[in-house]
Amino acid sequence: MLSLVPGWLLTILLLGALILLHELGHYSVARLTGVKVEEFGFGYPPRLFTLFERGGTKFTINAIPFGGFVRPAGEDDPSIPGGLASASKRVRAAVLLAGVGANLLTALVVFTIGFKIGWPDRVVILSVVADAPAATAGLQSGDIVLTVNGRQVHQGADLADATYQQLGQPLELVIERRQEALSFEVTPRTTWPEGQGPMGIEMQAQVVSTYTWIQSAGRSIETIGEQAWLLLTLPARLIQGSISASEARPIGIIGLYDLTSRTIETAQQSSQWVILVQWMGLISTALALGNLLPIPALDGGRLMFVLLEAVRGRRISADRERAVHAMGFVLLLGLMIYISYLDLVRPVIPR
């Protein structure tokens, strides 16, 4: 049935729904903690019309049909009673973290469903280059990599990161061969012929469809943690060369739209909708982690002011905080425009 829906429409619905869930988290916790919410908008302004009003909140339909927003009362003005800025530190922190929490919960649910359905979660060696370190150590095509230096391997990036961190030093690999676990020591080379890599192997993901619901939830939590770790260690991996600058560059809404469209197209053509489930989890996790960054105007930036207040024992003046967020918003808008320009001139998916 989903195959009959145009890819562009599915893309807008998917990305919009994930953003809307983020805002729903803010709205729900604000109402639960007694913070007034002036507007819950579907889409982005300008406003077209008001659907209804409930509990002092206007639910509106806006012109740009993508995602949504929540406008709490007194967001930056502590003089407004019942507003966000006049609430306690705990309440403000809870409301600010609620959007991130909603996205993480969404990621947890969709990842769990994905792991239960079955998707690529093991790494199999497709081929081994003759006389390369992997061949010298005794690795063979068809071997499934279970661990590297005691750490589980679920994706090719797990093995690649460990390899680039220990070039010229021995790695302890546990592999599965004909349902038997075997241990090998491989020393990745520091230089190698083009296209071969440090160990001289070609890898491929293998689908696992035998997880229980509990195992699936566990792998879901691990996957979210892995995504957070990848973000935190991105600068180090850039320096090590395990990821290129072009692969690490941020993408904007245009690049995200292109990647989501391609993912939906692949899912439609292959009828493997688990691909889309996995992508939903990744995007939802990325939205959560991105909003936690301590950048003014983002949830993480506003949360930093709450933390500073807790450490200092007194509040930074509302005017100063407002000015910082306004400046941050302008800079963030400029960065988004620049990233969108890069998405057009150097698209992540060649047009």
Whether 139 shows a pLDDT value over 90: the answer reads yes
H-assigned helices in 89-244: 89-117, 133-137, 156-165, 213-232, 234-240
pLDDT band at 141 (very low <50, low <70, confident <90, very high): very high
pLDDT of residue 98: 96
Same domain, 123 and 166: yes
Whether 299 shows a pLDDT value over 70: the answer reads yes
Cα gap 112→103, rounded to integer Å: 14
Whether 290 shows a pLDDT value over 90: the answer reads no
Mean pLDDT calculated for residue range 91-95: 95
pLDDT of residue 89: 93
Q: Is residue 102 part of a domain?
A: yes
Whether 103 shows a pLDDT value over 80: the answer reads yes
Q: Is residue 123 part of a domain?
A: yes
Whether 3 shows a pLDDT value over 60: the answer reads no
Instruction: Output the domain CATH number for residue 148.
Output: 2.30.42.10
Q: Which domain holds residue 44?
A: 2-115+273-316
- Considering its fold, how many domains does the chain have in total? 2
| Domain stop point among 187, 208, 229 | 208
Same domain, 60 and 158: no
| Percent of the chain clearing pLDDT 90 (strictly above) | 46
Residue 14 CB: number of other CB atoms within 10 A?
18
Same domain, 111 and 126: no
Cα angle 77-83-86, degrees, rounded to a multiple of 5: 65
Nearest CA to 231 among 287, 275, 277? 287
Q: Is residue 265 part of a domain?
A: no
Mean pLDDT calculated for residue range 133-154: 93
329 phi, psi to nearest 5 deg: -65, -45
Contact assessment for residue 213 and residue 112, using Cβ atoms and an 8 Å cutoff: yes
Which tens digits make up the pLDDT trace of 222-264? 999 988 888 788 777 777 666 766 666 777 778 888 888 888 7
Distances (CA, A) of 86 to 34, 120, 273: 11, 48, 46
Same domain, 24 and 64: yes
Same domain, 111 and 12: yes
Q: Is residue 90 part of a domain?
A: yes
Axis-axis angle for helices 299-312, 89-117 (nearest 10):
140
Same domain, 74 and 135: no
Amino acid residing at 315: R
Cα gap 99→292, rounded to integer Å: 10
Q: Is residue 322 part of a domain?
A: no
pLDDT band at 351 (very low <50, low <70, confident <90, very high): low
Whether 52 shows a pLDDT value over 80: the answer reads yes
Amino acid residing at 21: L
| Domain stop point among 173, 192, 208 | 208
pLDDT of residue 58: 93
H-assigned helices in the chain: 7-32, 89-117, 133-137, 156-165, 213-232, 234-240, 245-248, 253-270, 274-292, 299-312, 318-345
Mean pLDDT calculated for residue range 121-136: 93
pLDDT band at 4 (very low <50, low <70, confident <90, very high): low
Averaged confidence pLDDT in the chain: 87
pLDDT of residue 175: 94
Same domain, 61 and 164: no
Lowest-pLDDT range of 107-111, 147-151, 238-242, 271-275: 238-242
| Domain stop point among 155, 180, 208 | 208
Q: Is residue 280 part of a domain?
A: yes
pLDDT of residue 76: 85
CA atoms within 13 A on the CB side of 143: 23
The catalytic position among 23, 39, 75, 321 is: 23
Mean pLDDT calculated for residue range 205-230: 90
* Two tokens, residue 298: 């983002």
Same domain, 28 and 98: yes
pLDDT of residue 120: 84
Which tens digits make up the pLDDT trace of 25-48? 999 999 999 999 999 998 888 899
Same domain, 12 and 108: yes
The burial class, CB within 10 Å (0-12 / 13-18 / 19+), for 215 is middle
Is 176 catalytic? The answer is no
Contact assessment for residue 258 and residue 343, using Cβ atoms and an 8 Å cutoff: yes
DSSP labels, 291-304 = HHS--TTSHHHHHH
Same domain, 6 and 71: yes
Cα gap 99→19, rounded to integer Å: 9
Same domain, 170 and 200: yes
Q: Is residue 197 part of a domain?
A: yes
**Secondary structure of residue 325 in the 3-state scheme:** helix
Mean pLDDT calculated for residue range 323-328: 87
Cα gap 94→154, rounded to integer Å: 34
pLDDT of residue 189: 93
Mean pLDDT calculated for residue range 316-334: 86
Q: Is residue 198 part of a domain?
A: yes
Same domain, 30 and 67: yes
Residue 4 has what DSSP assignment? G
